């Protein structure tokens, strides 16, 4: 079997990834299966789960994208139910592995460096910058507070703009230990995940403009952003999953539907008959006269 090796820069990140993935392996979640861990090298050897969706999204058929969308929602929700909140759901963190020669495949969620779990409390800020343009507003706010505490601890100058790129000393990060981080206090983690999922779906279907317009996909994904109620988030995910499922069952393929090119009536009549237009109008006038006469006669008889 072909294995994939992931190396880490510090022991904390190594142990945390190992703990979360082992926990999910035991529950048969759709994550890579760990084969070997080498502490001295800070390396995890796991099964190769294929290629990231971000690198093949332009080569996937519409029908397959619909199926992938349904699976992504199911995978992320199941992992959430196991007590792990992956706050960085994106096509780059989803891999596809072909399974057999009949077009079957498996889908996996990878990279749990930006995940939160009550089973495995954080001891350092999540290694990700706050970003209001792409993150749920509660997540970006919590990250800002966690990094503020980090700079305060080392009595260092705060970044002027937390939502722009700033530098963090890796030495300081490795020697900083804390608990009760703000990202763990987010009371609606599923809403944060749902926000991330909405961006993932938009990325997946970005080129399928006709399909998106037909099912109003971007209008629906917009409703998934910055929610603050996990019950509503769960219902919204069910709704959009049902939308994809109905599309799949109907075997809708927007590209197979011919789109007629509208033409002026006169040019269309000429093309259809090859008859002089004046003669054609005379024919239609006579036909209308006969039709109206028959209609009047029918109404008289009926009365």
- The pLDDT tens digits for 198-255 are 999 999 999 998 999 988 999 999 999 999 999 999 999 999 999 999 988 775 444 4
Gap between the Cα atoms of 211 and 253, Å rounded: 8
Q: How much is the pLDDT for 234?
A: 96
The candidate with the shortest Cα–Cα distance to 230, out of 121, 140, 107, 136, is 136
First to last CA, the chain: 84
**List of E strands, the chain:** 3-7, 34-38, 43-47, 51-52, 84-86, 94-98, 105-109, 115-117
Indicate if the pLDDT at residue 86 is higher than 70: yes
Query: Is it the case that residue 110 has pLDDT exceeding 70?
Result: yes
Q: What are the phi and psi torsion angles at 280 (to 5°)?
A: -65, -40
Instruction: Collect all residues with Cβ–Cβ distance below 8 Å to 251 and sequence separation of at least 6.
Output: 63
- Helix (H) or strand (E) run with residue 196 in it: helix 189-204
Contacts of 216 (CB under 8 A, 6+ apart): none
**CA angle at residue 243 from 242 to 244, to 5 degrees?**
90
Res. 35: pLDDT tops 70 = yes
Rounded CA separation 184/142 (Å): 9
pLDDT category, 67, cuts 50, 70, 90? very high
* C-alpha dihedral sign at 49, 52, 55, 59: positive
Neighbouring-strand partners of residue 105: 98
Residue 289 has pLDDT above 80, yes or no: no
User: Within 27-136, where are the H helices?
Assistant: 53-56, 62-81
Task: Report the mean per-residue pLDDT for the chain.
Answer: 85
φ/ψ region of 29 (left if φ > 0, alpha if ψ in -120 to 50, else beta) reads: beta
Q: Structure pTM?
A: 0.80
Looking at per-residue confidence, does 303 or 264 come out higher? 303
pLDDT for the residue numbered 166: 77
Least confident range from 119-133, 225-239, 258-272: namely 258-272
90 Cβ contact partners less than 8 Å away, ≥ 6 residues apart: 54, 196, 199, 200, 203
pLDDT on residue 3: 87
CA distance 218 to 220: 5
CB 1 within 8 A of CB 79: no
List Cβ neighbours of 136 (8 Å cut-off, separation of 6 or more): 191, 192, 195, 196, 225, 226
* The two three-digit tokens of residue 255, written as one number: 């590209």
pLDDT tops 90 at residue 90: yes
What's residue 164's pLDDT?
A: 67
263, exposed or middle or buried, with CB in 10 Å at 0-12, 13-18, 19+? exposed
Q: How far is CA 222 from CA 50, 79, 217, in A?
A: 30, 23, 9
Banded model confidence at residue 100, pLDDT cuts 50, 70, 90: confident
Model pLDDT for residues 163-182, shown as the tens digit of each residue: 667 788 889 999 999 999 99
Q: Is the pLDDT of residue 71 over 70?
A: yes
Question: For residue 202, what are the contacts with CB-CB under 8 A and spacing of at least 6?
Answer: 217, 218, 221
């Amino acid at each position: 079997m072909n294995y994939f090796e992931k190396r880490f820069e510090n022991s904390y990140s190594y142990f945390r990834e190992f703990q979360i993935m082992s926990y999910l392996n035991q529950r048969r979640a759709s994550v890579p299966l760990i084969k070997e861990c080498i502490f001295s090298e800070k390396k995890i050897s796991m099964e190769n789960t294929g290629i990231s969706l971000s690198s093949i999204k332009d080569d996937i058929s519409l029908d397959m994208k619909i199926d992938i969308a349904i699976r992504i929602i199911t995978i992320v929700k199941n992992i959430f139910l196991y007590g792990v909140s992956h706050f960085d759901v994106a096509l780059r963190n989803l891999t596809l592995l072909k399974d057999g020669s009949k077009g079957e495949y498996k889908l996996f969620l990878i990279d749990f460096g930006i995940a939160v779990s009550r089973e495995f409390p954080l001891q350092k800020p999540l290694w990700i910058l706050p970003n209001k343009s792409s993150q749920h507003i509660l997540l970006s706010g919590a990250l800002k507070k966690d990094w503020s505490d980090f700079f305060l601890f080392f009595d260092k100058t705060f970044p002027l703009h937390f939502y722009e790129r700033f530098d963090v000393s890796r030495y300081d990060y490795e020697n900083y230990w804390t608990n009760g981080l703000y990202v763990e206090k987010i009371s609606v983690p599923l809403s944060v995940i749902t926000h991330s999922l909405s961006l993932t779906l938009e990325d997946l279907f970005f080129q399928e403009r006709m399909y998106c317009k037909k099912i109003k996909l971007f209008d629906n994904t917009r409703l998934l952003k910055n929610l603050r109620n996990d019950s509503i988030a769960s219902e919204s995910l069910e709704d959009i999953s049902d939308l994809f499922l109905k599309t799949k069952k109907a075997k809708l393929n927007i590209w197979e539907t011919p789109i007629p090119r509208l033409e002026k009536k006169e040019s269309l009549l000429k093309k259809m008959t090859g008859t002089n237009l004046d003669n054609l109008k005379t024919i239609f006038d006579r036909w209308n006269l006969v039709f109206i006469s028959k209609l009047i006669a029918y109404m008289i008889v009926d009365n």
